[in-house]
Amino acid sequence: MDQLGVGVVSDSVAQWLVASLLAAVAFFLLTLVRHGGKQGRLPPSPMALPFIGHLHLIRPPPHRAFDRIINRYGPLVYLRLGPSTHCVVIGSADVARDVLKFEGSIPERPLTAVTRHLAYDSAGFAFAPYGPHWRFMKRLCMSELLGPRTIEQLRPVRAAELAGVMRAAAEAAAKGETVDMSRQLIRMSNNAIMRMVASALPGDMADTARDCAKKVAELVGAFNLEDYVALCRGWDLQGLDRKTRDVRDRFDALLESMIRTKEKERREEADETKTKAKDLLDILMDAAADPAAEVKLTRDNIKAFIIDIFTAGSDTTATTVEWMLADLLNHPDCLQKLRAELDAVVGRSRVVGEPDVAQMPYLQAVLKETLRLRPPAVFAQREAIEPIHVRGYTIPVKTSVFFNIFSIGRDAAYWEEPLEFRPERFMPGGAGEAVDPKGQHMQLMPFGSGRRACPGMGLAMQAVPAFLAALVQCFDWEVPNPPLDMEEEAGLVTARKQPLVLLPTQRLHPLPLP
């Protein structure tokens, strides 16, 4: 019996040793094939573990894990995630500028197992390969879908959704009750996006879309072992593939219903719709029906693009407004400066609107400081299609390149007391006076930079500060149980971990809603 036990243990150990040896050989061969033995000098790197590489260092949220690594090893770091997924992380404005000089070598956004399903195999815009389709969609975005004329035409949609939040706050104030601003703001932003996409959308569809959009953000932001360990692909060990397919199917059914409803409306009201303001679905369907278009859009292209709009524009809008309000409540002096500017520029007889934003430099400074400290998208990811030689190091082909926007915005080389909330740094005389957040200044790049920068930045810079300004203008806000929790939730978008529950007091009587 004892001899049998020893034999079993010995066999088990032998099998483990053989498996370990095979894994080591496989990793060596994969690395040799991948880089051809000529990868050059890689950037500095922490010590890696067998098989898993540096995965053990990437504790959630990943942008903070990257930040810790950058603080120890420098602003350009090489990491191996799993046996054969290679990446570099960039954590300073200067290195970001140097790498983006080779933007033509990193034009792609890598598809993950989750985004491949949700993007209809890159049929949309966000994950489309750089080429004719992507360039066509980029032009369509900038000139039509998210161009100044369309943004202006759809402003009443956003104003109507903001009015809904204001009424909810006024009702809570009248009853002396608290209001969950996190819930109100995400409902507002999702409804606004839905109404901008399809203006005649039934209410139940908006609720379904809001639920789907939330799940999409959770899935895209989740760590998926399949993306890093090839042996795990196809097994769905975490259940993410099943959840993704379920959300994709629900979203697809919703989008199909939206498109069919729009097709029927366009057939029945062909003459009338020519004089109506077009929503985003109208613009996409016009492009698909254009026989002269250089790229023919399919139904999947339209669906994938709408999902792109939802995932990029709903949660990010809500969380940015939420962080702005929370930071102002933690800094009453800043709140009073903003309120004084509102009273001077807008007065108390009407609600501040998007056209007022250009005349309010302190409001814009509050937005920039929030985007610097709490960018809605904490990193931007690209993939190298050819080797890049920068700062004496080589970024090999097929390497994922992470611009850790969270770290870049806190770069002490550009910002004095970088962890402090100080909107004054963006006012005349401040270090950020001339800094624009639209991708030209690397020290502040919340929307990314270059050809893959977010095309919705113009809308965000106009709508987000107007939403926040209206809340500050019309209400006083009190934290029922101070201090205010400022911890982040792990995920694709840096939402607050705890809901922002506040006690409102109406400041303007009557509330000057449209």
- For residues 380 and 200, give the distance between their C-alpha atoms in angstroms, rounded to a whole number: 34
Report the pLDDT value the prediction gives residue 418, as an integer from 0 to 100. 97
- For residues 234 and 483, give the distance between their C-alpha atoms in angstroms, rounded to a whole number: 46
DSSP H or E run through 30: helix 2-35
- For residues 192 and 185, give the distance between their C-alpha atoms in angstroms, rounded to a whole number: 10
Contact 108, 101 (CB under 8 A): no
- For residues 409 and 415, give the distance between their C-alpha atoms in angstroms, rounded to a whole number: 8
Report the pLDDT value the prediction gives residue 337, as an integer from 0 to 100. 98
- For residues 372 and 358, give the distance between their C-alpha atoms in angstroms, rounded to a whole number: 19
Sorted by where each begins, the domain ranges of the chain are: 132-506
Report the pLDDT value the prediction gives residue 91, as an integer from 0 to 100. 97
Q: Is the dihedral of CA 442, 64, 211, 127 positive or negative?
A: positive
Report the pLDDT value the prediction gives residue 29, as an integer from 0 to 100. 40
- 454: annotated binding-site residue? yes
CA 123 to chain centre: 19
Contact 385, 397 (CB under 8 A): yes
Instruction: Please state the pTM of the whole predicted model.
Output: 0.88
Among the listed residues 48, 431, 381, the one whose alpha carbon sits nearest the alpha carbon of residue 227: 381
- For residues 377 and 302, give the distance between their C-alpha atoms in angstroms, rounded to a whole number: 24
Helices of type H across 52-127: 62-73, 93-100, 113-118
- For residues 463 and 475, give the distance between their C-alpha atoms in angstroms, rounded to a whole number: 19
CATH topology of domain 132-506: Cytochrome p450 (1.10.630)
In a structure prediction context, what are the per-residue pLDDT tens digits for the chain, which is 514 residues long? 333 333 333 444 344 444 444 444 444 444 433 443 455 799 999 999 998 999 999 988 889 999 999 999 999 999 999 888 899 999 999 999 999 999 999 999 888 888 888 888 888 888 888 889 899 999 988 888 888 988 999 899 999 999 999 999 999 999 999 999 999 998 898 888 888 888 766 666 777 777 787 788 778 777 787 888 777 878 888 888 899 999 999 989 989 988 998 888 888 776 654 556 788 999 999 999 999 888 899 999 999 998 888 877 778 899 999 999 999 999 999 999 999 999 999 999 999 999 999 999 999 999 999 999 999 889 899 999 999 999 999 999 999 999 999 999 999 999 999 999 999 999 999 999 999 999 899 999 999 998 899 988 999 999 999 999 999 999 999 999 889 999 988 776 788 999 999 999 999 999 988 6
Report the pLDDT value the prediction gives residue 143, as an integer from 0 to 100. 87
Among the listed residues 368, 366, 323, 370, the one whose alpha carbon sits nearest the alpha carbon of residue 342: 366
- For residues 61 and 208, give the distance between their C-alpha atoms in angstroms, rounded to a whole number: 28
